[in-house]
Amino acid sequence: MKNFFIGIFLVLILSIPVLAQNSDVQIGSSLNQLRTVPAGGFYDYSNPSTVNIKVAVWGFVRYPGKYIIPSYSTVNDLLSYAGGPTDEARLQEMRIIRTNADSTQTIIPLNYKDILFNLNVKKNPQSPLLHAGDVLMVSGEPRLYFKDYLSIGLSVVSTLISIATLVVLVVRK
């Protein structure tokens, strides 16, 4: 009888991962990854004593990828974990893509400057909490600075001078 209960206990323990409904939620952290370990765009900032969620951040941030973070984390926290936005990021055009329980997706627009400086306190008093499976999109576009325009301009001018020199040499002969 004792072996029967031990067998049932082992079956229940081994079937817990199979019975888990949401793979984006994790209790504690894995024993071999208690600290941040970058592995090809996967970052583990989990807290061993709390419930952790899996989210992703894509776009114009220093370290885009998938993250395991504590469930109480906000957009500010996730941007900090991702190394912050790059120079090309448009902070007024960020979005959270959230998958609902009925498998529909909701897009939540964010203006990070409002969150950071509390400019729009009535609509968004604080940075929103993230849910399991959320994807934070930080939009942007590459910017050209004076040195970039100067480099492009000098390349065009030097090419035109080379072509003019070649034409003059061909015409003289």
Nearest to 141 by CA among 43, 66, 59: 59
Please list the ranges in the chain whose pLDDT falls under 50: 12, 14, 16-20, 31-32, 34, 36-37, 121, 124
Task: Look up residue 28 and give its DSSP letter.
Answer: S
Q: Pick 22-142's CATH classification: 3.30.1330.200, 3.40.640.10, 3.40.50.880, 3.10.560.10.
A: 3.10.560.10
Percent of the chain with pLDDT over 70: 69
Give the model confidence (pLDDT) of 108-135 as tens digits: 888 877 766 665 545 545 677 888 899 9
Give the CA angle between residues 142, 148, 153 to the nearest 5°.
130
Distance of CA 134 to the CA centre of its chain: 10
Question: What's the whole-number average pLDDT of the chain?
Answer: 79
Q: Helix count (H) and strand count (E) of the chain?
A: 4, 7
Residue whose entry in the numeric block shows the structure tokens 């969620």:
53
Any idea where the domains of the chain sit in the sequence? 22-142, 147-173
User: What is the sign, positive or negative, of the torsion defined by CA atoms of 118, 123, 126, 128?
Assistant: negative
Q: Are strands 135-140 and 51-59 parallel, antiparallel or unpaired?
A: parallel
Nearest to 55 by CA among 34, 71, 35: 71
Distance of CA 138 to the CA centre of its chain: 8
Model pTM score = 0.64
Residue 5 belongs to what H/E stretch? helix 2-19
Q: Which residues contact 124 (CB under 8 A, 6 or more apart)?
A: 110, 111, 114, 115
Residue 116 belongs to what H/E stretch? helix 112-117
Structure confidence at residue 159 (pLDDT):
95
